[in-house]
């Protein structure tokens, strides 16, 4: 599933110079790093304060969207694990990526492994906001 930048009341773009150190506050969340989307756009990744447990994939997707964010992609989940592990619950968390009609990918924030699980199963979820970067 391609990642799309969610419309939100947050800043529409930032410059590299405006970014704080990793783990510091940014746009209502925590700055987790920078990633490049498939279309070549560079974005700042902000971990939003919302955290959910015992939630299925569909409900997790809806909850993230209701907060002006989205579930992280597999790549962004790996970035969260590397840069913000102490702030994450050491359990498995849904990503936005569907595997097929019944399964979706998740990332275990205890050890970083990524696997699939039934979308109906209940896991954890965090939401991120992707903010485009400009020169």
User: Tens digits of per-residue pLDDT, 13-56?
Assistant: 999 999 999 999 999 999 999 999 999 999 999 999 999 999 99
Distances (CA, A) of 18 to 32, 45, 54, 78, 132: 14, 13, 36, 24, 12
- Look at residues 122, 87, 89 and name the one whose alpha carbon lies nearest to residue 108: 89
Residues 1 and 97 sit within 8 Å (Cβ to Cβ): yes
- List alpha helices for the chain, DSSP H: 57-66, 74-84
The single-letter DSSP state of residue 131 is: E
The pTM is what?
Answer: 0.90
Alpha-carbon distance of 21 to 120, in angstroms, equals: 37
Domains in the chain and their CATH numbers? 26-134 (3.10.100.10)
Instruction: Name the one residue in this structure whose structure tokens are 């969207």.
Output: 65
Alpha-carbon distance of 4 to 25, in angstroms, equals: 22
Q: What is the mean pLDDT of residues 78-98?
A: 97
| pLDDT over 50 at 6, yes or no | no
What pLDDT does 108 receive?
98
Structure tokens at 22: 């990793």
Q: What is the mean pLDDT of residues 60-85?
A: 98
User: For all residues of the chain together, what is the average pLDDT?
Assistant: 93
> pLDDT of 109-118, one tens digit each?
999 999 999 9
| pLDDT over 50 at 2, yes or no | no
Q: Give the three-state DSSP class for 43.
A: strand
């Amino acid at each position: 599933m391609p990642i799309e930048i969610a419309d939100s009341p947050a800043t529409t773009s930032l410059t590299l110079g405006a970014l704080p150190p990793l783990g510091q506050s940014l746009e209502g969340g925590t700055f987790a790093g920078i990633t490049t989307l498939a279309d070549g756009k560079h974005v700042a990744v902000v971990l939003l304060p919302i955290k959910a447990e015992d939630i299925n994939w569909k409900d997790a997707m809806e909850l993230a969207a209701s907060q002006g964010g989205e579930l992280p992609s597999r790549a962004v989940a790996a970035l969260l694990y590397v840069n913000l592990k102490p702030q994450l619950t050491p359990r498995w968390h849904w990503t936005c990526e569907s595997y097929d009609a019944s399964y979706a990918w998740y990332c275990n924030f205890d050890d970083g492994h990524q696997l699939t699980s039934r979308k109906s199963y209940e896991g954890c979820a965090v939401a991120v906001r992707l903010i485009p970067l400009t020169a």
